[in-house]
Structure 1
Amino acid sequence: MLLRTDPFRELDRVFEQFTGTSSRPAVMHVDAERDGDVFYVFFDLPGVDPDSIDVTVERNVLQVQAERRRRVKDDVEPVISERPMGVFNRQLFLADTLDTDRLEAVYDNGVLTLRIPISDRAKPRRIAIGSGNGGRKQIKG
């Protein structure tokens, strides 16, 4: 018996892993960079309503959640629907050296930008060295 298979089935499956489907959106793409004493993280979220974006930090876990909804109009028949819709989630594990209390977030032109400064306690600092010529002093209690 000859079984017929779709030669593009495997290609479609691999493509969906990277781009997502309407029921399982793809992961949001991220870039990160360090500029001096600040880390910047960029999340691509085109077409997302800024009110649907939620950024939280708990301990050293940063979580970004956003939702993109399809606009539905009466009497309009969709012809092609390839853009992933639904809820997107991304978690990043942050180093203890980052100051998440001073984290700033801006959403502009479909890109969510996080600015996370390095903690002052993680920056190099000079330690003062006292002179050994002072002799011993008695501490009175």
Structure 2
Amino acid sequence: MLRFDPFGDVAGRQAPTSQMGSGRVPRFMPMDLYKVDDHYVLTADLPGVDPGSVDVTVDNGTMTLTAHRSARSDEAVQWLSNERFSGTYRRQLSLGEGVDCSRISATYENGVLTVSIPLAERAKPRRVNVAHAGTATTIDSTTVDPG
């Protein structure tokens, strides 16, 4: 697994403005990635995002995580502090060939997105049977000693 996010969603970002309460877009989606037995587990912190906006797609070996946190729409608010970002979060990861993309699953609970990424059968460690030499083999009525 490789991480890919050179500039995030550059086209979708707005430049921050000096006014409180406007122009604040998400900058980062912190995540952990680890391997357990025959699959990888990715967890990403997405507190306060709209649960229906969480999306995980896989296309041509790239997994894209997307989520959206809505801004407060009450115009009558006088901001004293506005440090929480609103807008769309996006993160992309390149998946290796040893991943079974058809069996990827995801859950979103308590502000954490958890994605299970199973290894493909061909990528799982396996034991290879080793044939032992040392017994005589007969080829065309001739005895051959492999030793």
TM-score under structure 1 normalisation? 0.72
Deviation at 1:61, TM superposition (A): 0.7
Q: Where in structure 2 are the equivalents of 1:57-72 lying within 5 Å?
A: 57-72=58-73
Matched, 1:27 2:28: yes
CA distance in 2 between partners of 1:123 and 1:32 (Å): 18
Structure number with the higher strand fraction is 2
- Report which stretch shifted further, 108-117 or 127-136: 127-136
Question: CA–CA distance in 2 between the matches of 1:101 and 1:134?
Answer: 48
Per the alignment, residue 41 of structure 2 pairs with 40
Q: 1:114 to 1:126 in 2, by over 3 A?
A: same
Counterpart AA for 2:120:
S
Over 3 Å counting, the alpha-carbon distance change for 1:135 and 1:102 in structure 2 is farther
Query: 1:92-115 CA deviation, whole Å, 9 max, x = no partner?
Result: 111111111110100011000000
CA gap of 1:94–1:78, structure 2 versus 1, over 3 A, is: same
1:125 lines up with 2:113 in the alignment: no
Give the Å deviation of 1:58. Answer: 0.9
Partner of 1:108: 109
Q: Secondary structure at the match of 1:87?
A: strand
Matched, 1:91 2:92: yes
**TM-score normalised to the size of structure 2?**
0.69
Post-superposition shift, 1:55? 0.8
- CA RMSD, 1 decimal: 2.4
* Separation (CA, whole Å) in 2 of partners of 1:72 and 1:134: 86
Note the C-alpha offset of 1:125. Answer: 2.6
Task: Identify, as 1 or 2, the structure richer in helix.
Answer: 1
Q: Which amino acid aligns with 1:116?
A: I
- Cα deviation per residue 1:63-104 (whole Å; 9 max; x = unaligned)? 011111122235332221111111111001111111111101
CA distance, structure 2, for counterparts of residue 71 and residue 97 of structure 1: 43
Moved over 6 A (4+): 129-132
Shift in CA distance, 76/23, structure 1 to aligned 2, threshold 3 Å: closer
In the alignment, the residues of structure 2 paired with residue 23 and residue 51 of structure 1 have an alpha-carbon distance, to the nearest angstrom, of 21
